């Protein structure tokens, strides 16, 4: 659910606050069993899943400290 331009870092907190506000408004206006509330709730769940997936991808792409240490050792040997 990231609608930011490719070169702009998404602001997850801002997005979550907007969805939370919409969820509260839907609850107060239509009630918890309304389609409006359920739709906003699903949007919130999807957003949270997207944030979790992004964090997992970022963690998976982070370099392994042991591998970095080994690579640095090879660089020192090459000097």
Average pLDDT (27-53) is 94
Q: Is the pLDDT of residue 34 over 90?
A: yes
Cβ-Cβ contacts under 8 Å for 48 (sequence gap 6 or more): 16
Residue 10: pLDDT band with limits 50, 70, 90: low
Residue 46 is assigned to a structural domain of this protein: yes
Number of C-beta neighbours around residue 76 at 10 A: 8
Question: Can you say whether the dihedral through the CA atoms of 54, 3, 37, 30 is positive or negative?
Answer: positive
* Full residue range of the structural domain in which residue 18 is found: 12-78
47 versus 77: which is more confidently predicted? Answer: 47
Tallying the residues shown for the chain, one arrives at: 79
Domain count, the chain: 1
Q: Is the pLDDT of residue 60 over 80?
A: no
How far are the Cα atoms of 22, 59, 79 from residue 1, in angstroms, in the given order? 16, 19, 47
Q: Is the pLDDT of residue 27 over 70?
A: yes
Residue 4 is assigned to a structural domain of this protein: no
Residue for token pair 């409006």: 36
């Amino acid at each position: 659910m990231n609608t930011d331009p490719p070169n702009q870092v998404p602001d997850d907190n801002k997005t979550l606050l907007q969805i939370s506000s919409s969820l509260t408004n839907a609850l107060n206006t239509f009630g918890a069993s309304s389609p409006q509330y359920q739709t906003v709730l699903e949007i919130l769940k999807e957003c949270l899943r997207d944030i979790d997936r992004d964090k997992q991808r970022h963690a998976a792409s982070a370099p392994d400290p042991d591998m970095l240490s080994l690579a640095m050792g090879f660089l020192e040997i090459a000097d």
